[in-house]
Structures are given as C-alpha cells and as structure tokens.
C-alpha cells in the first residue's frame, strides 16, 4: 500500500496536513510533501477536497508462489542453553493454529549445545525441529541470528513464523522480515485463523492501547509476528513424542560478526524479571509517593517475588519501565499477583488478569480491581502491607 500526491491537483490548502495523525505532511512551496514519518495510513486521502492524494496498491505476490510456503514455525529463544518460557507458550498456541490450518508445526533452535532444547521442543508439540548449532551462537548476536534465520526461511519457506516479543525477538523479527520482504505484526496479544481467508489473524493494541487491531498479511510470506510473553499457557510436556530433526550447517563465521561480546551485566535483577516470576507484588498511585515503594519491595523480597508497577507509577517516574505491567508494559501470568493501591484500569487488567490468584489491596471498596480479584482487602496499603510482611516473615 502506498500514498501518492498528484502535484497538478494539489493547491497547498493544508487540509491533509491537519488530518495526518503522525505529523508526516508539510506544506512546502504551496504543495503538500510527505516526510519519512508517513505510515501510509490513508487518513489524508479522504481529507483532500481536490482528490490530489491517492492510494495505490502494491503488486501482490502471485497466489501460486504463496502456495509454496508451508508450515508454522516457532523460534525458540534461549540464552546459554536456557530457554525463554514464551517460546514454549507459542508452541502450545502454534499447535492449535497449525491444526486449524492443516499444517505441520516446527520449532527453530539456533544456539550452542542445544540438545536439551530440541528434546523439549518436540515434547512441547513440535513435529519438526530445524537446528543451527555452533559456538558463534552461544550468545545472541544480531548479525549471526539474522543470517541463520533468514537462510532457513529462504530455504524451507514457512507459511507462518512466530517469535516472542522479548528484547531479542523484537530485534530479530524486523531484521528477518525486512530481508525476506514480508510484513511483521509486533507485540500481539491474541492469535487466530481468519474464517474467510484462512490467514493468521494477528491482534495487537493500537493507538496507545485505546483499540485492538486485527491484522492480516495476504500478499507476502511468511506471515510473521512477535507475541507477548505470558499471553498463552505453556503446553503439557510429553517426552514420549517423537519428531524429525533437521540439522542445518551454519553459514556464519566468527570473523563475519561485526560486534564482540566483552561482558554480560545483569542490570535487571530478579526483582524485575516479571515474565518468569511466580509471585508479583505491584504498586499503583495509591502508594502515595515513590518512597512508599520500599514496602512493595520488602513484601516481594519476603515472598521471593518480583516487583511490578502500574503505568501511572512509571509515567510519574516512581519506578523504571521494566517493572510496568499492563497493555503498554509487560503481560504477566504468575501464580499469585498482589495489586496494591491499583484501581484496576482496563489497560492494567489486560496485563495481569490471567494470573492464577489475584490479591487486591485498596482503600476504595468500589475499585474495579476487586471485580477480578480472588481476595480483596479494603484499607490503607501502608497499614495492611507491613502487617502482611510481619505475618509472612513468621512463616519463613
């Protein structure tokens, strides 16, 4: 999809400039001009009273060429042989999608000494595992992983490719999509199969989380998307399953890499490792001031959990963004989630409502958080949390 300006019709009236939601149109020498910020959304097309802006369709790939792409792939993210949970969450959901589309489910494992990951991928539902192994993949490197995954896509031509919306997944996905000339739907919170086309229906928050957009990719392959961690449950492990293992020789040499890993610094401690935490203690504006988050941190420490925060808290600068839970933060699914001084806006609920047990503490008995909570305590968090900490410490 592209937007084109017909110069001879344009009068420079500015109607399109005022309607552009991205500020991507400027009036220069009595003519409209598009800047690099243009997303080709089309808002300017209907705004122009002189029909000087038109939308042009790109030439789609041939249908018979798209038919050559088969299978649903899940990229298995790992670090030093330790898998990220989101990869296996995607295998579980990928199994459902693959069955609905009548295609096989494959896992892609890139790394060093990954035998355990291969077994786990098959046990989690993969029919096939593509493996690229070597010391050059011992740590994530943009150049190495992009080349390896791009070569796999170009060689084996999958119909669908899923990646976790992690730091590495958000780096790798767009790089591969650009090289294989396809689209990528980022940060998805729901997956499905479109009844009319049989395509993957990718659903994600849009316009700051105010709407949920469902996106299809009809013309290019593979259909690609990154999916937030903890949106789906991990499948049950069945080590009696068997699958085909395809080992692909590495085409990457250490000399080809443009960066050298000197050291690994764990800047984010266990207290903000929200995706993997079984217990999360989150605070909202009801905590009163940033100094009061010491109580949140103390309760999390006693319980061996992680510290979360609402968007309002992060926007106010009380806590850094890695702690944010919600539609524009992290999606979590712990065994126990403590919501302390959090009113329960729909954007926050979208990030934690799949928790097994929700405990809410709020002085407002009408707070929306109590509608989703399994246990609710009405009262001042600064009185209740210290009492909870004292009781939990007795159990240690």
Residue 298, annotated as binding a ligand = no
Terminal CA-CA length for the chain: 61
192 is in an annotated binding site: no
39 is in an annotated binding site: no
Q: From CA 92, how far away is CA 127, in angstroms rounded?
A: 12
Query: Any binding-site annotation on 345?
Result: yes
d(CA 280, CA 337): 5
DSSP E strand boundaries for 182-266: 184-188, 190-193, 200-206, 211-215, 223-227, 244-247
Q: Do the annotations mark residue 265 as ligand-binding?
A: no
CA 374/CA 360 separation, integer angstroms:
8
Are 280 and 357 within 8 A, CB to CB?
A: no
341 labelled ligand-binding? yes
- The response to whether 327 counts as a known ligand-binding position is yes
81 annotated as a binding-site residue: no
Task: Please give the Cα distance from 242 to 239 (Å, whole number).
Answer: 8
Task: Answer left, alpha or beta for residue 102, where phi above 0 means left and psi between -120 and 50 means alpha.
Answer: left
Structure-block tokens of residue 269: 């401690």
Does the annotation list 103 as a binding residue? no
169 is in an annotated binding site: no
Q: Is there a binding annotation on residue 326?
A: yes
Is position 135 annotated in a ligand binding site? no
**311 marked among binding-site residues:** yes
198 has binding-site annotation: no
Is 47 annotated as contributing to ligand binding?
no
Q: Are the C-beta atoms of residues 357 and 312 closer than 8 Å to each other?
A: no
Residue 342, annotated as binding a ligand:
yes
Q: Write the DSSP symbol of residue 7.
A: T
How far does CA 329 lie from the centroid of its chain? 10
- Are the beta carbons of 126 and 74 closer than 8 angstroms? yes
Largest CA distance in the chain: 80
Is 223 annotated in a binding site? The answer is no
**Alpha-helical regions (H) of the chain:** 15-19, 43-47, 63-66, 85-101, 115-123, 142-156, 167-179, 293-303, 311-315, 346-352, 381-394
Tell me the C-alpha distance between 130 and 52, whole Å.
Answer: 50
Residue with tokens 């090289």: 179
**Binding-site residues:** 285, 310-311, 324-328, 341-348, 362
Output the known binding site for FAD.
285, 310-311, 324-328, 341-348, 362
């Amino acid at each position: 999809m592209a937007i084109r300006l017909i110069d001879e019709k344009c009068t420079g009236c500015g109607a399109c400039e005022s309607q552009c939601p991205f500020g991507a149109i400027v009036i220069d020498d009595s003519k409209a001009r598009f800047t690099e910020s243009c997303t080709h959304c089309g808002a300017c097309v209907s705004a122009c009273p002189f029909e000087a802006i038109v939308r042009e369709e790109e030439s789609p790939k041939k249908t018979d060429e798209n038919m050559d792409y088969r299978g649903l792939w899940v990229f298995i993210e790992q670090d030093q042989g330790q898998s990220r949970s989101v990869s296996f969450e995607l295998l579980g959901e990928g199994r459902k999608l693959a069955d609905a589309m009548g295609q096989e489910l494959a896992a892609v494992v890139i790394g060093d000494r990954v035998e355990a990951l291969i077994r786990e991928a098959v046990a989690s539902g993969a029919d096939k595992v593509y493996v690229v192994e070597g010391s050059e993949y011992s740590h994530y490197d943009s150049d190495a992983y992009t080349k390896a995954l791009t070569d796999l896509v170009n060689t084996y031509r999958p119909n669908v490719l899923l990646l976790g919306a992690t730091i590495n997944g958000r780096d790798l996905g767009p790089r591969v999509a650009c090289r294989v000339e396809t689209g990528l739907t980022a940060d998805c919170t729901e997956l499905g199969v479109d009844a009319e086309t049989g395509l993957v229906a990718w659903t994600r928050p849009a316009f700051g989380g105010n709407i949920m957009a469902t996106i299809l990719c009809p013309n290019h392959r593979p259909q690609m998307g990154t999916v937030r961690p903890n949106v789906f449950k991990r499948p049950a492990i069945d080590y009696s399953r068997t699958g085909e293992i395809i080992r692909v020789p590495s085409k990457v040499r250490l000399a080809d890499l443009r960066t050298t890993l000197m050291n690994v610094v764990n800047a984010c401690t266990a207290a903000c490792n929200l995706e993997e935490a079984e217990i999360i203690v989150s605070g909202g504006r009801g905590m009163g001031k940033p100094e009061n988050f010491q109580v949140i941190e103390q309760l999390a420490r006693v319980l061996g959990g992680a510290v979360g925060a609402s968007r309002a808290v992060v926007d106010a600068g009380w806590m850094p963004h890695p702690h944010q839970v919600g539609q524009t933060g992290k999606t979590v699914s712990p065994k126990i989630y403590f919501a302390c001084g959090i009113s329960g806006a729909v954007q926050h609920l979208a990030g934690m409502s799949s928790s097994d047990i929700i405990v809410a503490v709020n002085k407002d008995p009408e707070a929306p958080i109590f509608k989703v909570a399994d246990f609710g305590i009405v009262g001042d968090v600064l009185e209740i949390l210290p009492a909870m900490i004292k009781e939990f410490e007795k159990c240690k």
